[in-house]
């Protein structure tokens, strides 16, 4: 699929050297890796891991990356949550480069819901054509963010960006907030 190895970015704080080494190892099999250790910037979380994947979120990604390797990603992220216990100890931000950029933010304080959210990311593939229908989004969206809705036990569109404008999905329509 790729003629030149794309560069994935791992930026983090509060992640142990062992944990980042495992994440690095999983992604290093398919990408060149750029790592950045951050200063703590979100007082609500002890640990934050941002994974920027330079490929679109689609079936081709999962075929190329391999589902077994994706299962390893989910397993290490779940283990990181288990090691931190309850509360908002861990926030994961998975960002896929495409147009628009697609981000999944897993930050549930409940470990079971956190694990469930990771397991269900793959299921969003089937909904992407519906969610990205231009008639259902603000014009010229550059990025969308999914958040896991524990009440419905599924990922929902939450935020959309059009350049410097921020829209939040209210359940029936997009509302401009910035």
| Domain presence at residue 43 | yes
Report helix, strand and coil shares of the chain as percent, to nearest 5: 35, 30, 35
Residue 137 lies in a domain: no
Which residues, including other chains, have CB under 8 Å from residue 142's CB and lie 6 or more apart? 99, 100, 101, 161, 162, 163
The pLDDT value given to residue 72? 96
Give the pLDDT confidence score for residue 34 in this predicted structure.
Answer: 96
Average pLDDT, the chain: 91
Look at residue 37 and tell me whether its pLDDT is greater than 60.
yes
**Is residue 133 a part of any domain in this protein?**
no
Under the banding of pLDDT at 50, 70 and 90, the label for residue 84 is confident
Q: Which domain holds residue 41?
A: 7-125
Q: What is the pLDDT of residue 88?
A: 67
The total domain count for the chain is 1
Q: Where are the alpha helices (DSSP H) in 53-156?
A: 59-65, 67-84, 111-120, 128-131
Q: Is residue 102 part of a domain?
A: yes
Q: Is residue 134 part of a domain?
A: no
Does the pLDDT at position 176 exceed 90? Answer: yes
Instruction: Judge whether 136 lies within some domain.
Output: no
Assigned domain for 39 exists: yes
CATH number at residue 49: 3.30.429
The mean pLDDT of 122-126, rounded to a whole number, is 92
Tens-digit pLDDT profile for residues 95-108: 999 889 999 999 98
């Amino acid at each position: 699929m790729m003629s030149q190895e794309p560069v994935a970015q791992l930026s983090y704080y509060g992640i142990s050297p062992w944990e980042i080494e495992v994440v690095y190892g999983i992604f290093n099999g398919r990408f060149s890796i750029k790592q950045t250790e951050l200063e703590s910037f979100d007082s609500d979380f002890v640990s934050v891991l941002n994974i920027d994947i330079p490929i679109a979120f689609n079936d081709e990604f999962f075929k190329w990356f391999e589902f077994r390797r994706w299962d390893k990603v989910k397993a290490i992220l779940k283990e990181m949550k288990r090691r931190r216990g309850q509360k908002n100890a861990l926030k994961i931000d998975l960002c896929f480069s495409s147009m628009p950029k697609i981000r999944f933010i897993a930050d549930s304080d409940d470990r079971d819901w956190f694990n469930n959210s990771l397991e269900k990311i793959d299921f969003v593939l089937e909904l992407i054509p519906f969610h990205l229908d231009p008639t259902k989004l603000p014009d010229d969206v550059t990025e969308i963010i999914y958040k896991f809705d524990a009440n419905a036990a599924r990922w929902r569109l939450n935020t959309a960006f059009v350049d410097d404008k921020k829209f939040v999905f209210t359940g029936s329509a997009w509302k401009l907030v910035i």
